[in-house]
Structure formats: structure tokens, C-alpha cells
Copies of this chain bind each other. A is one copy, B any other.
Amino acid sequence: MKLDASKTALLIVDMQKYQAGEGGNLPRFFREIYGTAAEEGAVKKGKEIIRVIRRLLAAFREAGARVVYLAFGSLTDDGSDLVPYARLWNRVSRKKTGLPAIVPVSDPGYAIMEEIAPRPGEPFINKTAQGAFGASSVDHVLKQMGAETLVVTGMYTNHCVISTCIGAADAGYRVLIPADAVGTWNEKLHEQALEVMRSWIIRSTSSEVIRNLKEKTR
């Protein structure tokens, strides 16, 4: 599983403040729907993943490999450009918390968590649904850059991560998931999502990815 740095990209899925941060809209929405443990699980997992993604980021940047950020948000203030299921989440969330589940790009919570913020020149791409391949221009960008293997990280394994991984594999990429670099509010759901994908993605760990990327670029 050698990783050629010139053909491998690190995808960072939705590591936005409103998704992964304490008090974020999405963890608060999960509390209302799935209970307090879901909110706490989401925030705790966010903190863990950030540490793992930092190490991956350092390795990819040092190797000169691509880093691409994805974010989930609406381009309009009223969320009318989001897919129907996300508009439904927003209606429910507004009723229960007063806030939308998926924020507009103008919301302060839309930004990427500071510890792993994008650097100038690293593509940052918005999507208006869970899966990046059906609802953003990421496939176009990755194909032009010559990416053939994608290392997918971020949140949530059973939502935007699985949707993006299925789209990536169907678009013809080799998809690696370092299991410690993705997560969700509950271990069982995390494992189920990985289990569903086992026939068309490669499950790995961040350490293994870093080791293989480093070896390759020497």
C-alpha cells in the first residue's frame, strides 16, 4: 500500500466549528434527537480526530501531497439551496434549538476548527449535501490535480464520510480510510458504517498512512 505523494490527496470532511466544536449547532441538534450522550460523544470524538488529522496534515504537507478541505453549508441565508433532507433537519433543529442544523456560509460556525485550519493555496470546497461527489466540484478539482488515491478523514463516519467515500470510490478513486481519523457520536454507528464499506474501501490507520507516504517520497 505505497502512497505516491504526487497522486494522493488528503480529504478533510466537514471539520467545521458548528459540526465538531463544543456548543456547535450539530452536536446540539444530536442532543435533541439522540440524547445527551450523542452530543458529548460527538464533541469528544471531534477533539480526538483533530489530533490525528494534525499529524496527517503535517505528513502530507511535508511530502508535498495535496490537502483538500470540504465543508457543508448553504450558499443562501435561508438554506434553500440545500438538499431536501438537510432542509428537513434544519426545520426540526430550529424548532428544538432555535438554530439550523446546517449553517449558511456566512455563519461564524462555518469555519474549519482552528487547530487544523487550511493554509493559503489549499483548496476549500463547499458542498450542499452530505456527499462531496454529488454536491460539489471536488471530483473536477481532484481529477485535474491528478489525484488517484484519497485518504478520507473527518466527521461523521455514518453521514458525510460514508457518503463522500462511496462517491469517491464510484468516481474511480482508490479510497483509504484511517479509522482513527474519522468518527461519529457513537462507536457502534462508526463501526457499522465502516463495515458497510468494507468491499470497496481500504481500512487503515493514520500511522500506517503516514509511514507509507513517507517511505514513498524519500
* Chain A residues engaging chain B, CB cutoff 8 angstroms: 75-78, 80-85, 89, 104, 106, 120-131, 133-137, 140-141, 143-145, 158-159, 162-163, 166-167, 169-174, 189, 192-193, 195-196, 199-200
When the two chains form their complex, are residues B196 and A192 in contact, meaning their CB atoms are under 8 A apart? yes
When the two chains form their complex, are residues B196 and A158 in contact, meaning their CB atoms are under 8 A apart? yes
A131 — which chain B residues lie within 8 A by C-beta? Answer: 166-167, 170
Q: Can you identify 25 A-B contacts, CB atoms within 8 angstroms?
A: A75-B123, A77-B120, A77-B121, A78-B121, A84-B144, A84-B172, A84-B174, A85-B169, A104-B121, A106-B121, A126-B137, A127-B137, A128-B137, A128-B144, A129-B170, A129-B172, A130-B169, A130-B170, A134-B134, A134-B140, A134-B170, A135-B140, A143-B172, A159-B199, A196-B196
- Contacting residue for A169 out of B83, B106, B143, CB 8 A: B83
- Contacting residue for A76 out of B85, B123, B134, B166, CB 8 A: B123
Q: Which of the listed residues A104, A120, A123, A125 has the most CB atoms from chain B within 10 Å of its own CB?
A: A123
When the two chains form their complex, are residues B129 and A140 in contact, meaning their CB atoms are under 8 A apart? yes
Given A134-B167, A163-B166: A82 and B129 interface contact (C-beta under 8 Å): no
The distance in angstroms between the C-alpha atoms of A128 and B200, with both chains bound, is 14
Q: How far is the CB of A207 from chain B (nearest CB, A)?
A: 24
When the two chains form their complex, are residues A121 and B196 in contact, meaning their CB atoms are under 8 A apart? no
A83 — which chain B residues lie within 8 A by C-beta? Answer: 144, 169-172
Residue of B nearest to A138 (CB): B137
- Contacting residue for A128 out of B80, B140, B199, CB 8 A: B140
The distance in angstroms between the C-alpha atoms of A144 and B128, with both chains bound, is 9
When the two chains form their complex, are residues A145 and B81 in contact, meaning their CB atoms are under 8 A apart? yes
Residue of B nearest to A173 (CB): B84
Q: How far is the CB of A61 from chain B (nearest CB, A)?
A: 14
A123 — which chain B residues lie within 8 A by C-beta? Answer: 75-76, 81
Q: Which of the listed residues A78, A85, A140 has the most CB atoms from chain B within 10 Å of its own CB?
A: A140
